[in-house]
């Protein structure tokens, strides 16, 4: 039987690992969102600047009602962890992301709301809400969620995601450019995000 001290040590080890996994998933999603392979580009309709819009980047996915067998097992594992720690943010976000990737956006949002309530000053729950809303095609809600997340952490990927939303879907290139410049000027912007910002500015 595992001792309490051993369980605590395991939890301390797993939390940063889960956090790193979430960062990796975020960067992959951002890559696909902006200019990942397989995205087609078409001119923006009714836009004087003719800003190119990735045709599939912001297209809502068709809903699905069940998880693949392998992910059902992953969900069972995560639910077990959540039962032991009901307010653990990485676990709540991992469950939400699993549902969101499988197009069950309503259930994903349920866990994101729980995460936001458990950690109101943590940028990750509203950031993942922004990703979930983007995947579902609710861009006005995504804008608010990304703005909330970026207000909680300077130079974060949330501000970059908001800029991408402005540029490619909301068709507000001025706002996108302003956010890109702010990210470049901020000492808090991580190198991976800074590099993507520079690529976006080179496209203008």
Tell me, what's the pLDDT at 8?
A: 52
d(CA 96, CA 78): 10
Whether the full predicted model's pTM is greater than 0.85, yes or no, is no
Find how far residue 80's CA is from the centre of its chain: 24
Tell me, what's the pLDDT at 203?
A: 87
Tell me, what's the pLDDT at 115?
A: 98
pLDDT tens series, the chain, 204 aa: 445 454 454 445 445 444 444 545 555 455 445 443 222 222 222 322 333 333 333 444 444 457 888 899 999 999 999 999 999 999 999 999 999 999 999 999 999 999 999 999 999 999 999 999 999 999 999 999 999 999 999 877 999 999 999 999 899 999 999 999 999 999 999 999 999 999 999 987
Tell me, what's the pLDDT at 168?
A: 94
């Amino acid at each position: 039987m595992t001792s309490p001290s051993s369980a605590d040590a395991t939890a301390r080890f797993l939390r940063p690992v889960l956090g790193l996994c979430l960062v990796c998933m975020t960067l992959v999603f951002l890559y696909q969102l902006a200019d990942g392979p397989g995205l087609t580009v078409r001119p923006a309709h009714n836009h004087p600047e003719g800003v190119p819009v990735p045709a599939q980047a912001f297209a809502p996915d068709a809903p699905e009602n069940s998880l693949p067998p392998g992910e059902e097992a992953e969900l069972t594992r995560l639910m077990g962890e959540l039962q032991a720690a009901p307010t653990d943010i990485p676990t709540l976000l991992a469950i939400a992301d699993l549902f969101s990737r499988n197009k069950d956006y309503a259930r994903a949002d349920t866990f994101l709301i729980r995460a936001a309530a458990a950690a109101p000053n943590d940028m990750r729950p509203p950031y993942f809400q922004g990703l979930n809303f983007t995947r579902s095609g609710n861009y006005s809600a995504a804008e608010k969620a990304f703005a909330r997340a970026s207000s909680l952490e300077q130079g974060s990927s949330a501000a970059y995601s908001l800029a991408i939303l402005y540029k490619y879907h909301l068709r507000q290139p001025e706002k996108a450019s302003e956010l890109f410049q702010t990210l470049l000027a901020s000492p808090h912007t991580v190198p991976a995000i800074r590099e993507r910002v520079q690529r976006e500015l080179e496209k203008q």
